[in-house]
Amino acid sequence: MAGGSAPHRSARVLQWAQEHGEVGGVHASHRQLTHALRAEGYAVGYVDTGAAARAVRSVPGWWGRRTLHLFHITRLWRAVVLAPLFAVLPGRSAVVLHSGSTLRQVERLGGAGSAVLRLALHAYDEIWAVNDEIRAVLPDSLRDRVRVVTPFVPTPADPAVEAPPRDPHAVSVATNAGLAHYNAELAVEAVRLVRAAAWPDATLRVLAYGHDGEHLGRLRAAVAPLDWVTLTFDSPAEEVRAVLASSGVFLRPTDWDGDSVIVREALDSGARVVASDTAPRPLGVELSALDAAALAVALERGGRPSDGSGLAVDTLLVAAEAALATLEA
């Protein structure tokens, strides 16, 4: 509350997520939500799903009648494994399906696996999906529990922090562990083409996170001779915000996506965003075919504007506030 302390709330939130896990979209999403809920006066705790010992220590706090449990996942099998627990927990529960690979995961399950998933998801009071494609692939019997939300919760800018100058020819891209479907190499090639054709001063910042293994090692070796490419690993949130604020363009050349938090952050920072047309994209994103030449043209001249269809306007915060209101009634 502006000008005073936040009111005391009778309900509370438990975030079931990797509290101390790798940086990335899911981590940014639940941390943004935690910040916003605490600002509204809600007590927010964590069940750290990335550390068994920390999760076990939190067990006594699971049983509050006015508790909203938010289970953040990218892998559907996690919802199946923990369904028996969420079926008996008091309060209200929502499983948050973050991954753009959800459709592919469901297709791989087959008939028996889909039946198990359908039964497991009935253990959760609500299912929050980050795009319409995820909602559409879920069984009809669950539709009344599904809400489409955007996982990005805007955080007010710190007025004490001066925004860095923006370079219109500075391009940034993010990759989880250098995995193939993030297509960081395609971003490198697109910037190489645009440097040769129009922007000789163009640079590329690669924001890498996740597992620093063989995939990322190959990417690091490929860009090492290029003095116009800088690759950093596990940059803190403040540094990522500064990179986006100084980038002329954020590039998102992914094979698929849910509702990318870093795309939303880039738009919020005022950067142009050029993204592959392989997934729903927020309003304001410039779309391109998924090849280096098309991406280079979109970087230089602009891409087709997305109308935002397939994605939500309501944020995780709006959905959480609605669920908490039922616990406080």
Q: What is the mean pLDDT of the chain?
A: 94
Percent share of the chain, pLDDT over 70: 98
- pLDDT bracket for residue 5 (50, 70, 90): low
The predicted-structure confidence for 136-190, as pLDDT tens digits, reads as follows: 998 888 989 999 999 999 988 777 778 789 999 999 999 999 999 999 999 999 9
The pTM (predicted TM-score) of the whole model is: 0.92
Q: Is the pLDDT of residue 316 over 60?
A: yes
Q: Which of 32, 49, 36 is nearest to 1 (CA)?
A: 36
Q: Given the structure tokens 């706090």, which residue do they identify?
A: 61
With bands split at pLDDT 50, 70 and 90, how would you rate the model's confidence at 4?
low
- Residue 140: the pLDDT is 87
The residues, any chain, with a CB within 8 Å of residue 128's CB and separated by 6 or more, are 94, 95, 96, 97, 146, 147, 148, 149, 316, 319
> Per-residue pLDDT tens for 246-303?
999 999 999 999 999 999 999 999 999 999 999 999 999 999 999 999 999 999 999 9
Q: Mean pLDDT, to the nearest integer, of 321-325?
A: 98
Q: What is the mean pLDDT of residues 32-53?
A: 95
Mean pLDDT of 198-224: 97
- Is residue 21 pLDDT above 80, yes or no? no
pLDDT of residue 110: 85
| Torsion angle of the four alpha carbons 142, 143, 145, 151, in this order, in degrees rounded to the nearest 10 | 120
**67-119 confidence digits (pLDDT tens):** 999 999 999 999 999 999 999 999 999 999 999 999 889 989 888 998 999 99
pLDDT above 70 (res 3):
no
pLDDT in the model for residue 8: 77
Task: Report the phi/psi class of residue 24: left, alpha or beta, with left for phi > 0 and alpha for psi in -120 to 50.
Answer: left
Task: Quote the pLDDT of residue 215.
Answer: 96
Cα 233 versus chain centre, distance? 17
Contacts of 182 (CB under 8 A, 6+ apart): 174, 175, 176, 253, 254
Whole-number Å distance between alpha carbons of 328 and 320: 12
Residue 1: band (very low, low, confident or very high) from pLDDT cuts 50, 70, 90: very low
Note the pLDDT of residue 94.
98
Band (pLDDT 50/70/90 cuts) for residue 329 is: confident
Residue 111: per-residue pLDDT: 85
